[in-house]
Amino acid sequence: MGTFHHDKGELHGITVVVVTDGPELFVGRCDTITAKQVVLLDVEAHVEGENASSRQEYLQRVSMVGQRGEIPRVVVPTERVRSLQRLAELEIP
Amino acid sequence: MPYDPQLVAPMREELTRLGVQELTTAAAVDEWIAENDSPGLLIINSVCGCAAGQARPAVALALQHAARPARVATVFAGQDVEATAQARSHFAEFPPSSPSMVMFKNGEIVHFLPRHRIESRSAQEIAQELTEAFQKHCVTA
């Protein structure tokens, strides 16, 4: 029992990691994925070179405890997405 | 804005019919946390079908296990706003997450199950993680 949105795609509501073609990486709840963009909600961003932790350190932490939803909504253009996967399935080398 | 109480009622009952104590005020949360003489499981309930729809049945399965916490309580995120905020203040080192589950023992957090480790799993898989935590931290009834 719960609130479902079956028209939103299989990753709707699922926490995902979006790696971009730049230094930014986003962790948030997937809202929609279209041919043009990925929309994430309750998002935490990691910017390689700007954050105190390295990308690997950040991913190790976020895979344990989840993200802080500091940014309500982020839209990532599809051409900037290098990878998108469920946080729960993230394998950190 | 809190959810419609009528929408939320069946989701509350999925836990309360198991004997889970509802904490609806900040004072009730503090009192429950302070009673740390035995292990306790706190469930952050949620309307989210993607995750909470499996979380509540998982709790039902896990509580059938011989080793289980003597105290099990819940706050409802998005509904019992004050109680949820107060609960989260007791484990502020973890990002706010709903649904999620926190196990306390001797006033310490001994297990944290965040939303992303609930939403992708079946009730049986979530219950397995909970029962492993129960076996580690609770005395068999």
Q: What pLDDT shows up at residue A1? A: 46
Catalytic residue status for B138: no
Domain count, chain A: 1
Helix (H, G, I), strand (E, B) or coil at A27: strand
Mean pLDDT of chain B: 92
Q: How confident is the model over B114-138, as pLDDT tens digits?
A: 999 999 799 999 999 999 999 999 9
Q: How confident is the model over B55-80, as pLDDT tens digits?
A: 999 999 999 999 999 999 999 999 99
B74: Cβ contacts below 8 Å, ≥ 6 apart: B12, B15, B16, B20, B21, B22, B23, B42, B43, B44, B45
ipTM value of the model? 0.84
Peptide bond preceding B99 in cis form (omega within 30 of 0): yes
B107 touches A at CB < 8 Å: no
Residue A78: HSE in the Cβ half-sphere, 13 Å Cα cutoff: 6
Measure CB to CB from residue B120 to each of A4, A67, A86 and give the nearest one.
A86
What is the percentage of chain B residues whose pLDDT exceeds 70? Answer: 95
Q: Which CATH superfamily is domain B5-137 in?
A: Glutaredoxin (3.40.30.10)
Torsion angle, alpha carbons of B121, B127, B132, B138, to 10: 150
What's the domain range around A35? 15-89
Q: How confident is the model over A54-89, as pLDDT tens digits?
A: 999 999 999 999 999 999 999 999 999 999 999 999
Q: What pLDDT shows up at residue A2? A: 47
**One-letter amino acid for residue A13 of the chain:** G
Token couple for A23: 């230094």
Q: What is the CATH number of the domain that holds A78?
A: 2.30.30.100
Q: What pLDDT shows up at residue B127? A: 97
Whether residue A9 lies inside any domain: the answer is: no
pLDDT higher at B114 or B141: B114
Look up the pTM and report it.
Answer: 0.90
Q: Among all residues of chain B, which has the CA nearest to that of A9? A: B50
Q: What pLDDT shows up at residue B122? A: 93
Map out the domains of chain B as residue ranges: 5-137
Task: Please judge whether A2 and B49 are an interchain contact, meaning their C-beta atoms are less than 8 angstroms apart.
Answer: yes
